[in-house]
């Protein structure tokens, strides 16, 4: 992965984490959003392969955000 790919990867993770934070009602800061977004993308890749017919960066952000919401929901359940 070159530097441009890494920057795009981190930007998608940050946007997905930010969206998940808005949905779940909690902010995490830039680094937290990136971590939540990247983990959400991994989770959505395993749980929801091929669900969204949207391509490109927008589809990747939405896919990662859905996975991040699932991650935050499970973490909230475990915290109780």
Q: Which pLDDT tens digits describe the chain residue by residue (80 residues)?
A: 789 988 888 898 899 989 998 998 877 788 888 888 899 888 888 888 877 777 788 888 888 899 999 998 998 888 87
Domain count, the chain: 1
DSSP letter string, 48-65: STT-----HHHHHHHHHH
Burial 31-59 (b: 16+ CB within 10 A, else e): eebbbbbbbbbebbeeeeeeeeeeeeeee
Residue 59: domain span: 3-79
Return the DSSP state at 1.
-
Element (DSSP H or E) covering residue 80: none
The pTM score is 0.86
| Phi, psi at 15, each rounded to 5° | -65, -40
């Amino acid at each position: 992965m070159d530097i441009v790919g890494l920057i795009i990867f981190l930007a998608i993770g940050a946007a997905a984490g930010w969206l998940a934070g808005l949905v779940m009602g909690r902010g995490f800061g830039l680094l937290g959003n990136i971590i939540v977004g990247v983990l959400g993308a991994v989770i959505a890749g395993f749980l929801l392969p091929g669900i969204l017919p949207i391509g490109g960066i927008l589809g990747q952000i939405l896919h990662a955000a859905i996975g991040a919401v699932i991650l935050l929901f499970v973490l909230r359940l475990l915290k109780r």
